[in-house]
């Protein structure tokens, strides 16, 4: 008697549980240090010491009724003001306290943003490969997720593909920058092109199209890469942020939604989003950690740790002959499956929906492995279907082969883009060092 | 361009803001100690010192990657096990870790429970007066809230009214025990009668009807009152709990949903609820405070503080001639408005929907003052309409008169039951002491 809407999620959930079970069993069988688990985006870097000190100081200095009590549904005023000031300093913006709504992490932030603007049947566009949970979030409000195939040469945004998918029903667009799972940072050129298409289409259809920029990895960038701050390029932008990665606080569920004054009907939208935060049942972002974050707006996690891992894994794998996208952000390496079939780019050329853009399973998972049960149907796309099946088979074979060497990777299908695997390098450095000889055996098996 | 579904909430929100503004202005004008604000259910008792000590100990003893990291979407196993054990000890139950899903407070817990079971159009029954946010939560999943008029002589459950409102569409029933706003504790007899009707109706309609028991005030009881543990009386029960009141942690957003093995398709329902927790965007209950609560399952807030306030306010007001329900639980006093019109009970006898059961505004607020814009329509209920209008007018006059003496009370309309006000006595004892002479003036004004 559970809700019909929940049923499709249950099947996928069993698959996820199986994978977790498998990892646990492998660790028990071979020893945790002999298992190279690159499947989880759970930071291995501890939160900066300043965060824990701030928590203790707050407990010592402040009235517990205040520290653990209700505050405004949008959050503590001084915390929001501190974040606004920090952003203004870094991005030349002019945000005030009122533009920020503290949320239960970016997951709730995305839900707040979507609940605020979506009517049933509204379309939300995102770009494959993408975090499959987006589909669940959009479905929560009876919206329809529409996906755009990637430009597999760069994994920047496929602008032509994007333009083709916008319709009168498009209410919002979700981007994730720096990107999970590819590690790509969208360039200023990419954001400008995206904004230009959005401006054009807003005029054409006569209504706002909101750009929701999901940025939990904003500070995790390397090689001097810069992440464009999207409100500076497009007025109808909401930025969703989380301290999960930048301060290594994923379990604490603390983040925000930023709604700038430039957004259409900004004051009403801010009010509505604040109410959405309340009536979702969250009520407000957790109080103690919210206060602590307010004292640590200038802190960040140990970037050098990730950068060292990134270089070793990227260089190690490319030396072995694997084709990888060089990551400039986040903590993921996106590796092409050897012997994978035709690329998504080729599918794009046929004009058919490629697997990368096809519907993932109705379910999704947090750090996922729900298979992309392609909804590619209709006539005349037999080749695309064949290519898709071939890719998925190659991907499954590669993931299975990796397991023989105790390497756990998330298949690209979990991000609606088969033919790749994602390796999360937010693990200990030793895990990477020790995994390389195993990757060498895996490479040999695939004749690299 | 905000969602149509969000629009009705905006109007009510302005009313709430006006009330908050008014309170703030009064405090600025007259001094905070000269304003008797009984409007907010924000505990004035600090969290037990053991909670803050547990937080510090956890930070000192445990790995920060563990303390602030992701755990299972259902929560830390040992925290859930500790809560299960505590419940088993107190209620003779046999819960295990698996029966508990840690949530972002009871607000999220109720949303998880409703998202798990509701299909669009399903009816959810609750009992006036009720926390208006229930309506928003049910609407989140396109359910329909159906309300039952109170038995105003006791404010126990009006069982005949309840039976009459159950239909083939009834999927769930929400009770709140001890009750906000009345302070009443539902007796074992009440729960038995409720369970018996539910069993009968389940058979009649051939499907499960879930009893969702919202129990944030479970430990806040006086005069030796016992709160029946509902899973012992009815199998298809989900218990929703929060540490907001019992440990004075409302801002921290920590609670749980309990789904017993006896519930129909229990394992599937637990899985679905765990997924609902994830895809709502909450992902998991906040980690550090979750661990701290796990170390404090035997703690509770200072009951003597509330009891002292309760006695002084109840006795003070009844001595002055006000008609009050003697509260046995929570921290609210439910006071009948002098000169209020005909009672809800009389409306019940006419067979028409009384104001107490009428639809509140589509919006709702956390600690609210959204007016119950009665949806009483149709023909032949002119008397009920008149009575409703009279009650609302009397209530508004009383609330306005109280303000002259700097007394802030929440009108009963905020709980879909005009003709009463709610006084939250979770304030300082001095506030109550100092308010009594002002209540005396108010009583005189109403010729008590």
Does A59 sit within 8 Å of B59, measured CB to CB? no
Residue environment code for A2-39, b if the CB has 16+ CB neighbours within 10 A, otherwise e = bbebbebbeebbebbeebeeebeebbeeeeeeebbbbb
Three-class SS state of A338: coil
Does B6 sit within 8 Å of A272, measured CB to CB? yes
Q: pLDDT at residue B362 above 70? A: no
- Structure confidence at residue A335 (pLDDT): 98
- Structure confidence at residue B341 (pLDDT): 46
> Could you tell me which chain B residue has the CA closest to the CA of A63?
B46
Q: What is the pLDDT of residues B372-391, one digit of tens each?
A: 333 333 344 567 788 888 88
Q: What is the pLDDT of residues A357-379, one digit of tens each?
A: 333 333 333 443 333 333 333 34
Does B287 sit within 8 Å of A252, measured CB to CB? yes
Does B43 sit within 8 Å of A69, measured CB to CB? yes
Question: Tokens standing for B187?
Answer: 């007796």
First to last CA, chain B: 52
Question: Tokens standing for A54?
Answer: 């701030």
When CB atoms are compared, the residue of A250, A279, A289 closest to B69 is A250
Q: pLDDT at residue B422 above 70? A: yes
Rounded Cα gap, residues A37 and A403, in angstroms: 10
Q: pLDDT at residue B357 above 50? A: no
- Structure confidence at residue B340 (pLDDT): 59
When CB atoms are compared, the residue of A64, A104, A265 closest to B46 is A64
Name residues whose C-beta falls within 8 Å of residue A428's C-beta, 6 or more positions apart in sequence: A44
CA distances for A77 relative to A72, A252, B27, B39, B134, angstroms: 8, 20, 19, 21, 27
When CB atoms are compared, the residue of B65, B279, B365 closest to A136 is B279
- Structure confidence at residue A366 (pLDDT): 40
- Structure confidence at residue A12 (pLDDT): 75
Rounded Cα gap, residues A427 and A433, in angstroms: 11
> Could you tell me which chain A residue has the CA closest to the CA of B3?
A117
Does A287 sit within 8 Å of B288, measured CB to CB? no
- Structure confidence at residue A343 (pLDDT): 45
> Could you tell me which chain A residue has the CA closest to the CA of B60?
A52
A56 min Cα distance to partner chain B (Å): 6
Q: pLDDT at residue B43 above 90? A: no
Residue environment code for B285-312, b if the CB has 16+ CB neighbours within 10 A, otherwise e = bbbbbbbbbbbbbebbbebebbbebbeb
**Among candidate residues A98, A65, A105, the one with its CA nearest the CA of residue A79:** A98
Contacts of A104 in chain B (CB under 8 A): 104, 253, 281-282, 286
Contacts of A59 in chain B (CB under 8 A): 52, 55-56
Does A107 sit within 8 Å of B268, measured CB to CB? no
Does B55 sit within 8 Å of A55, measured CB to CB? yes
Name residues whose C-beta falls within 8 Å of residue B146's C-beta, 6 or more positions apart in sequence: B123, B124, B125, B126, B165, B170
**What are phi and psi for residue A75, nearest 5 degrees?**
115, 175
Does B119 sit within 8 Å of A248, measured CB to CB? no
A231 min Cα distance to partner chain B (Å): 18
Interface test with B, best of A37, A265, A279 (most B CBs within 10 A): A279
More confident residue, B373 or B264: B264
When CB atoms are compared, the residue of A46, A251, A268 closest to B70 is A251
Rounded Cα gap, residues A58 and A67, in angstroms: 8
Question: Tokens standing for B414?
Answer: 């905020």
Does B47 sit within 8 Å of A2, measured CB to CB? no
- Structure confidence at residue B1 (pLDDT): 82
DSSP E strands, B350-390: none
Mean pLDDT of the region B178-189: 98
> Could you tell me which chain B residue has the CA closest to the CA of A8?
B272
Distance of CA B314 to the CA centre of its chain: 20
Does A65 sit within 8 Å of B46, measured CB to CB? yes
Contacts of B2 in chain A (CB under 8 A): 116-117, 265, 268-269, 272
Distance of CA B118 to the CA centre of its chain: 20
Other CB atoms within 10 Å distance of the CB of residue B409: 25
B67 min Cα distance to partner chain A (Å): 8
When CB atoms are compared, the residue of B64, B119, B141 closest to A52 is B64
**Among candidate residues A431, A104, A114, A106, the one with its CA nearest the CA of residue A272:** A114
A119 min Cα distance to partner chain B (Å): 5
When CB atoms are compared, the residue of B2, B71, B73 closest to A272 is B2
For residue B24, what pLDDT band results from cuts at 50, 70 and 90?
confident
Rounded Cα gap, residues B76 and B57, in angstroms: 17
Rounded Cα gap, residues A443 and A322, in angstroms: 7
- Structure confidence at residue A239 (pLDDT): 98
**What are phi and psi for residue B342, nearest 5 degrees?**
-60, 155
Does A109 sit within 8 Å of B366, measured CB to CB? no
Q: pLDDT at residue B342 above 70? A: no
A395 min Cα distance to partner chain B (Å): 27
Q: pLDDT at residue B346 above 50? A: no
A345 min Cα distance to partner chain B (Å): 31
Does A9 sit within 8 Å of B272, measured CB to CB? yes
Contacts of B257 in chain A (CB under 8 A): none
Q: Average pLDDT of chain B?
A: 89
How does pLDDT run along chain A (448 residues), one tens digit per residue? 899 999 989 877 766 667 777 878 898 999 989 999 998 888 889 999 999 999 999 999 999 999 999 999 999 999 999 999 999 999 999 999 999 999 999 999 999 999 999 999 999 999 999 999 999 999 999 999 999 999 999 999 999 999 999 999 999 999 999 999 999 999 999 999 999 999 999 999 999 999 999 999 999 999 999 999 999 999 999 999 999 999 999 999 999 999 999 999 999 999 999 999 999 999 999 999 999 999 999 998 889 999 999 999 999 999 999 999 999 999 999 999 997 544 443 333 333 333 333 333 333 334 433 333 333 333 445 677 888 888 899 999 999 999 999 999 999 999 999 999 999 999 999 999 999 999 999 999 998 8
Please report the ipTM that was assigned to this predicted complex.
0.91
When CB atoms are compared, the residue of A2, A117, A288 closest to B2 is A117
Does A63 sit within 8 Å of B52, measured CB to CB? no
- Structure confidence at residue B382 (pLDDT): 67
Interface test with B, best of A15, A68, A171, A212 (most B CBs within 10 A): A68
Mean pLDDT of the region B118-129: 98
Contacts of B51 in chain A (CB under 8 A): 68
- Structure confidence at residue A302 (pLDDT): 87
A34 min Cα distance to partner chain B (Å): 21
Output the DSSP codes for A65-120: HHHTS---TT--HHHHHHHHHHHHHHH-----GGGEEEESHHHHHHHHHHHHH--T
A323 min Cα distance to partner chain B (Å): 31
Q: pLDDT at residue B40 above 50? A: yes
A-B contacts at Cβ under 8 angstroms: 251
Does A64 sit within 8 Å of B47, measured CB to CB? yes
Does B43 sit within 8 Å of A65, measured CB to CB? yes
Q: What is the pLDDT of residues B52-80, one digit of tens each?
A: 999 999 999 999 999 999 999 999 999 99
- Structure confidence at residue A339 (pLDDT): 77
> Could you tell me which chain B residue has the CA closest to the CA of A55?
B56
A317 min Cα distance to partner chain B (Å): 27
When CB atoms are compared, the residue of B2, B44, B366 closest to A278 is B366
Q: pLDDT at residue B359 above 60? A: no
When CB atoms are compared, the residue of B3, B283, B365 closest to A105 is B283
pTM of the model: 0.91
């Amino acid at each position: 008697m559970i809700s019909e809407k929940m049923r499709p999620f249950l099947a996928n959930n069993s698959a996820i549980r199986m994978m977790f079970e498998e990892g646990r069993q492998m660790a028990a069988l071979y020893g945790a240090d002999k298992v190279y688990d690159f499947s989880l985006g759970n930071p291995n870097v501890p939160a900066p010491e300043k965060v824990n000190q701030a928590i203790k100081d707050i407990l010592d200095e402040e009235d517990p009724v205040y520290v653990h009590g209700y505050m405004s549904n949008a959050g503590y005023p001084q915390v929001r003001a501190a974040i606004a000031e920090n952003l203004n300093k870094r991005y030349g913006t002019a945000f005030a306290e009122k533009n920020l709504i503290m949320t239960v992490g970016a997951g709730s932030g995305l839900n707040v943003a979507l609940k605020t603007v979506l009517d049933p049947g509204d379309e939300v566009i995102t770009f494959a490969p993408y975090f499959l949970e987006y589909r669940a979030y959009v479905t929560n409000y009876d919206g329809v997720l529409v996906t755009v195939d990637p430009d597999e040469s760069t994994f920047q945004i496929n602008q032509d593909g994007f333009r083709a998918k916008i319709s009168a029903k498009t209410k919002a667009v979700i981007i994730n920058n720096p990107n999970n799972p590819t590690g790509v940072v969208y360039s200023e050129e990419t954001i400008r092109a995206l904004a230009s298409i959005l401006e054009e289409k807003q005029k054409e259809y006569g209504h706002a199209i909101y750009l929701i920029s999901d940025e939990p990895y904003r500070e995790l960038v390397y090689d001097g890469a810069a992440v464009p701050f999207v409100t500076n390029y497009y007025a109808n932008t909401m930025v969703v942020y989380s301290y999960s990665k930048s301060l290594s606080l994923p379990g604490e569920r603390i983040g925000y939604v930023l709604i700038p004054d430039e957004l259409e009907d900004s004051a009403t939208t801010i009010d509505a989003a604040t109410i959405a935060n309340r009536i979702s049942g969250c009520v407000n972002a957790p109080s103690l950690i919210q206060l602590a974050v307010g004292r640590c707006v200038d802190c960040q996690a140990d970037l050098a740790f990730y950068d060292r891992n990134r270089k070793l894994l990227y260089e190690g794998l490319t030396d072995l002959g694997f084709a990888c996208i060089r990551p400039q952000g986040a903590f993921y390496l996106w590796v092409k499956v050897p012997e994978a079939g035709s690329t998504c780019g080729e599918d794009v050329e046929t004009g058919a929906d490629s697997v990368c853009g096809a519907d993932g399973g109705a379910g999704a998972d947090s750090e996922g492995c729900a298979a992309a049960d392609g909804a590619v149907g209709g006539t005349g796309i037999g080749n695309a279907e064949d290519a898709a099946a071939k890719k998925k088979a190659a991907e499954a074979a590669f993931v299975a082969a990796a397991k023989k060497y105790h390497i756990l990777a998330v298949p690209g299908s979990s991000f609606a883009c088969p033919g790749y695997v994602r390796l999360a390098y937010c693990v200990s450095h030793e895990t990477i060092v020790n995994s390389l000889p195993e990757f060498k055996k895996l490479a040999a098996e695939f004749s690299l």
